[in-house]
Amino acid sequence: MAANTASGYIQHHLQNLTYGQLPAGYERSDGSVLNDATWTIAHSAQEASDMGFWAIHVDSMLWSVFLGLIFLLIFRSVAKKITSGVPGGLQNVIETIVEFVDTSVKESFHGRNPVIAPLALTIFCWVFFMNLMDLIPVDWIPGLATLAGVPYMKIVPTTDPNITMAMSISVFLLMLFYWVKVKGFGGLFSDLALHPFTSDNLVIKTILIPVNLLLETVSLIAKPISLGLRLFGNLYAGELIFILIAMIGYLQLPLHFGWALLHVLVITLQAYIFMTLTIVYLSMAHEDH
Amino acid sequence: MNINATIIGQTIAFAFFVWFCMKYIWPPIIGALNERQKKIADGLAAADRATKDLELAQAKAVEELHLAREQAKEILEQANQRATVIVEEAKGEARKEGERLIVAARAEIDQEANQAREALRAQVASIAVAGAGKILGKQIDEAANSELVEQLAADL
């Protein structure tokens, strides 16, 4: 572990705990050579990247599932004994969130779809919880993990592009699914091929098809990528600044406070943006241009 | 920062969480919210209705009161009229009774005067007979002279 230098410190903080297979004959970071292909935890960034696609970020997955379960448990505990009478403390909070999400959905989506509202609620709360981990001082949990012998521990799942991209691609697939379900493949094609340039003349219309197709496909592909990378980029940058602030000694306290204060806003805002864009994309699939 | 199988794991977790939320979290909460909304709407409507009912009842009460007052006035008037009539009747009867009493008293007076006169006449007759007897100095046959005496008495 190269935690002694500044760049080593940063790299250590930005490295996920990766579990994967290293090929036979691989020279590990401590100099030992593997005789067989081995499933193991990566001890350096190089090892993690050499594990290829079939490796998993254990910390991202654990924290993400853990936070998702917290969300489910809190909401489920309220949903189980919910009353339409006078609501109690926690029920009030939950109802406010649910109502907020419901309003957001109703504002931009006018059809009937039982998935969109729960999807939006899940995204908002889960992303918010994952982002919230950013406010835990950067050294606390990785420090404990190091004491416990775990080489890396990145506690903010949304600073892992795998997590954000998985969610945005899921949303994208759902969008394509509903697009086809509502309008059929013909509708999908005409949405992509006949806009934004259109003409009453059939010949010009036909000529314009490839142009439209190119433009629309690019903007279509850009949707999941921008959705996932926006969340990742914001949180990754925020986390990086927390790490940089953490390196400057005792002066970090006011800076940390200021940045955390600003970050409270970023955390909520990014969760909200992710939710809103999900709703917008899904309602686009349902509505005519 | 490598793209790896985490993306698949997260997709599975995401699908599960959304499914769970859709199945067990969203419906009861939104159901309760809608139910409360309905309750509040019903309550407001009921309040509106109650206000209207109250207004109606108040108007009706005012009307009833008015009617009652009118009736009372009418009854009072009737009673007054009746009283006047009764007093008038009583006055008339009293007058008649008085007149009757006066007439009866007069008749009685007349009768008594007559009786006194008769008694007086009888006494006068007997005195006259006695006087005449004494004057004639002999016993007059009362039976023979009674017709005469009677005639005398009637002339008195």
Residues of A in contact with B13 (CB under 8 A): 61, 64-65, 68
Q: How close B19 comes to chain A (CA, Å)? A: 8
CB-nearest to B6 from A57, A80, A122 is: A57
Q: How close A98 comes to chain B (CA, Å)? A: 8
Q: What is the pLDDT of residue B82?
A: 95
Q: What is the DSSP string of B79-144?
A: HHHHHHHHHHHHHHHHHHHHHHHHHHHHHHHHHHHHHHHHHHHHHHHHHHHHHHHHHHTS---HHH
Assigned domain for A31 exists? no
| Residues near A218 by beta carbon (within 8 Å), at least 6 away in sequence | none
Q: Does A231 touch chain B (CB under 8 A)?
A: no
A64 is catalytic: no
Q: What is the pLDDT of residue B111?
A: 94
Terminal-residue alpha carbon distance, chain A: 55
CA distance B11 to B19: 12
- Residue A33 backbone dihedrals phi, psi, to 5 degrees: -115, 135
| Residues near A156 by beta carbon (within 8 Å), at least 6 away in sequence | A63, A130, A131, A133, A134, A235, A239
Q: How close A154 comes to chain B (CA, Å)? A: 11
Residue B25 pLDDT more than 90?
yes
ipTM for this model: 0.90
Residue B112 pLDDT more than 90?
yes
| Residues near A124 by beta carbon (within 8 Å), at least 6 away in sequence | A97, A101, A271, A272, A274, A275
Strand partners, A40: A20
CB-nearest to A163 from B6, B15, B18 is: B6
Residues of B in contact with A16 (CB under 8 A): 1, 6
Q: How close B50 comes to chain A (CA, Å)? A: 22
- Encode chain A (289 residues) as per-residue pLDDT tens digits: 344 688 888 888 888 899 998 888 888 888 888 888 888 888 888 888 888 899 999 999 999 999 999 999 999 999 998 888 888 889 999 999 999 999 999 998 888 888 999 999 999 999 999 999 999 888 888 888 888 888 889 999 999 999 999 999 999 999 999 999 998 888 888 888 887 888 788 888 888 888 889 999 999 999 999 999 999 999 999 999 999 888 887 778 888 889 999 999 999 999 999 999 999 999 988 886 5
CB contact at 8 A, A121 and A96: no
- Count CB pairs under 8 A between chains A and B: 125
A112 is catalytic: no
The amino acid occupying position A123 is I
Assigned domain for A162 exists? yes
Q: Does B32 touch chain A (CB under 8 A)?
A: yes
Residue of A116, A122, A128, A173 to mutate for B, most B C-beta atoms under 10 A: A122
Q: Does B14 touch chain A (CB under 8 A)?
A: yes
Tell me the average pLDDT across B74-102.
95
Q: Which H or E element spans position A39?
A: strand A38-41
Answer with the residue of higher pLDDT: B130 or A228: A228
Assigned domain for A35 exists? no
Assigned domain for A1 exists? no
Catalytic residue among A28, A113, A162, A230: A230
Q: What is the pLDDT of residue B99?
A: 95
Q: Does B139 touch chain A (CB under 8 A)?
A: no
CB contact at 8 A, A39 and A58: no
Residue B155 pLDDT more than 80?
no
Assigned domain for A48 exists? no
Domain containing residue A157: 57-286
Q: Is there a contact between A78 and B29 if contact means CB atoms under 8 Å apart?
A: yes
Residues of A in contact with B41 (CB under 8 A): none
Q: What is the pLDDT of residue B85?
A: 96
- pTM score of the predicted model: 0.76
- Confidence band for B138, pLDDT divided at 50, 70 and 90: low
- 3-class SS of residue A91: helix
Calculate the average pLDDT of chain B: 90
Q: What is the pLDDT of residue A2?
A: 43
Q: What is the pLDDT of residue B1?
A: 67
CA distance A208 to B147: 174
Number of domains in chain A: 1
Q: For B36-60, what is each residue's pLDDT tens digit?
A: 999 999 999 999 999 999 999 999 9
| Residues near A167 by beta carbon (within 8 Å), at least 6 away in sequence | A123, A127, A228, A231, A274, B10, B11, B14
Assigned domain for A188 exists? yes
Q: What is the pLDDT of residue B150?
A: 76
Q: Is there a contact between A76 and B10 if contact means CB atoms under 8 Å apart?
A: no
Q: What is the pLDDT of residue A176?
A: 93
- Residue A57 backbone dihedrals phi, psi, to 5 degrees: -85, 100
Assigned domain for A271 exists? yes
Q: Does B80 touch chain A (CB under 8 A)?
A: no
A162 is catalytic: no
Assigned domain for A20 exists? no
